Amino acid sequence: MNTIKVMDEILANKIAAGEVVERCLNVVKELVENSIDAKSTEIKITLIDSGTKKIVVSDNGIGMNKEDALLAFSRHATSKLKNLDDLFNISSLGFRGEALPSIASVSIINLKTSKDGKGTSVTLNGGIVEDISSSDLSCGTTIEVKDLFYNTPVRLKYLKNLYTELALIVEYVNKMALSYPNIKFVLINNNKVLLNTSGDGNLLKVIYAVYGVDVTKKMIEINGENDDYIISGYIGYPEIAKTSRNVITTLVNGRVIKNSDLNRCIIDCYHTYIPKDKFPLVVLNIDVDPILIDINIHPQKMDIKFSKFDSLQQLVNKVITTKLKEILLVPHANIRDLNTIYEVEDSMSISNFNYQIEDNVSKEEEKNIDTKEELVFDFDNDSKITGTKSEEVFTEEKSNENSYRIKEMIPVGIVHKTYIIAENSSGMYIIDQHAAAERINYEKVLNSLLKDDYKIIDLLVPLKFEYSKDEFIKIKEHLDILKNIGISLEEFGDNTFIVRSHPTWFFEGYEREAIEKIIAITLEKGEFEKEKFIYKTASTMACKMSIKANDYLNLETAKILLDNLRKCDNPFTCPHGRPTIITYSNYDLERLFKRAMN
């Protein structure tokens, strides 16, 4: 008797469901993607108890006839692939033909669909067809999934609590809405609407629906392309960075993906703009020829492989870093009336916000905006600031080599030996003296490290450094790197180096500690990368070289500090991503003291 047998279809589907369907999110994902592939313009997701009891996905897509409705629940049945060549040119979200049979094998399903005016209803229980009949559905498809995992109790037991399941679904649907602003998405849980987008193709409106008004006002549009890729979308100001990397939404040909290399590339673009434990809010669309990507590497199709990833990396880096350098990133102070506690955003009516996201105000109307409002650097009043109004306020008319991103500030006082208070014709500024000095020194040191013609100073007495055997060997691997930045280590007996000279940018009296810190960076765990070593060295040295909080500054020295800050490429944050400066515009001050009431 043969010991090897072919599994029956229901058993095979249950095994496949272990990879394809792990939780409620996977059901929603597969059904929504099918609706999108069916050319739907409206998709409604209705949940009962976060989907654990019921998931209903309705669309107005092309629908199916009776034969296709039955065949859809057969394993590896798909309308999206015809031959092997199609596998390397996939433009649809689904293609394997595993989702519906896998879902059906671990739930009770009722499918209603209509095509050419003829409706069909199919009911399955645990993957077995129980009923086929006509349906009164006029168009599209509605799939109802009940009692998920009712026949696999072990898997049901490991579902997370309802809040976790719902949070995952909301996150996914939000990202799909951002992927397809031309599709109206409605998400409802226990009769409560969690998302409702317009479906009119305006991505900024979707960002508003997903993240709210405060975030939307601080998003910047980006666009760029090269020979291989086209990218578009929105990036957030550094001040709205979040603690979760889930706020990075990356889409490739409309597919939501999670690719660690791509995420790292985006995060690196915000280097020194945000703290290392924060993540930028980004919605990035990538259009690419399907032949340059492989989406068939993950059971849930969440990750892909890129051909020519270097080309994509260079494009993303160029577009995002260029945009960050174009805009003004001084955070605007949040103002509260201590009596009535109304926010700055009260000054922006809903009609004004509609103007921002629909961009339907003529140039003539823009010219007639109240002068007082125009002179306020206020993200609340212009969510699409790209350096037009803001440049009038914060930059001076100078030649290119002397133009600065912030208008000249005059220090008028210092608070707690830490915060410099300054003013100019536009308003009042508060500057963190340590953060400002850090940024100045960081760029000074970084520029020195990146130069080939570094300058050194000979030491009167060489410095000796002793290490353990394993550290000594690791350091020897990077002697050339250290020499390139002006630190020449010479072996001096067992496990010992001496240094006879050091770079000119070293802080006087800090030479030994500086060299120890730099060598310590080379000994850190993980793969050594020269570029990251350079930036971390600059950041570490800048912190040690800079004036601290509680260090005394007179107004003359403070003025020199502010003038040097203005000359920086990025005067808005320290190397660790903390803000160097915040501002109160003249209008803000008038509101605080009730001189302006609107």
Low-confidence residues in the chain, pLDDT < 50: 14-19, 77, 79-84, 86-92, 94-97, 336-402
Segments of 202-353 assigned E as strands:
219-225, 229-236, 248-252, 255-257, 282-288, 293-294, 305-306
Residue from 402, 300, 321 nearest 93 by CA: 300
Same structural domain, 286 and 300 = yes
Residue from 596, 593, 584 nearest 334 by CA: 584
Whether 584 is covered by a domain: the verdict is: yes
Whether 117 is covered by a domain: the verdict is: yes
Question: What distance in Å separates the CA atoms of residue 443 and residue 545, rounded to the nearest whole number?
Answer: 12
pLDDT at 136: 85
Q: Which of 525, 545, 565 is the last residue in one of the domains?
A: 545
SS3 214: helix
Same structural domain, 94 and 232 = no
pLDDT at 356: 41
Tokens of 396: 């001076």
Question: What distance in Å separates the CA atoms of residue 178 and residue 548, rounded to the nearest whole number?
Answer: 43
Same structural domain, 560 and 541 = no
Question: What distance in Å separates the CA atoms of residue 74 and residue 143, rounded to the nearest whole number?
Answer: 16
CATH code at 509?
A: 3.30.1370.100
pLDDT at 105: 84
pLDDT, tens digit (0-9, with 9 covering 90-100), for 460-516: 889 999 998 888 988 998 898 898 888 889 999 888 999 998 888 887 788 888 899
Is the pTM here over 0.75, yes or no?
A: no
pLDDT at 302: 65
Same structural domain, 556 and 539 = no
Whether 13 is covered by a domain: the verdict is: yes
Whether 56 is covered by a domain: the verdict is: yes
Q: In degrees, to the nearest 5, what angle opens at C-alpha 312 toward C-alphas 199 and 215?
A: 40
Q: Which residues contact 362 (CB under 8 A, 6 or more apart)?
A: none
pLDDT at 224: 95
Same structural domain, 237 and 251 = yes
Q: 40: exposed, middle or buried (C-beta count within 10 Å: 0-12, 13-18, 19+)?
A: buried
Same structural domain, 160 and 305 = no
Q: Which of 147, 162, 196 is the last residue in one of the domains?
A: 196
Same structural domain, 415 and 471 = no
Same structural domain, 465 and 539 = yes
- Can you say whether residue 199 is alpha, beta or left, with left for phi > 0 and alpha for psi between -120 and 50 degrees? left
Same structural domain, 427 and 566 = yes
Whether 445 is covered by a domain: the verdict is: no
Same structural domain, 558 and 412 = yes
- DSSP character at residue 351: H
| Domain ranges, residue 369 | 344-436+549-592
Question: What distance in Å separates the CA atoms of residue 572 and residue 273, rounded to the nearest whole number?
Answer: 8
Question: What distance in Å separates the CA atoms of residue 21 and residue 24, rounded to the nearest whole number?
Answer: 8
CATH code at 300?
A: 3.30.230.10
DSSP labels, 408-462: --EEEEEETTTEEEEEETTEEEEEEHHHHHHHHHHHHHHHHHH-SS--EEEEEEE
Same structural domain, 181 and 239 = no
CATH code at 554?
A: 3.30.1540.20
Q: Are 251 and 179 in contact (CB under 8 A)?
A: yes
- The sheet with strand 54-59 has its strands ordered as 128-135, 118-125, 108-115, 140-146, 54-59, 42-48, 184-189, 192-196
Residue given tokens 């508060």 in the structure block: 430
Question: Number of structural domains, the chain?
Answer: 4
pLDDT at 152: 75
Whether 529 is covered by a domain: the verdict is: yes
Torsion angle, CA of 296/298/301/304, rounded to 10 degrees?
A: -70
Whether 358 is covered by a domain: the verdict is: yes
Same structural domain, 63 and 162 = yes
Whether 441 is covered by a domain: the verdict is: no
Tokens of 374: 């125009």
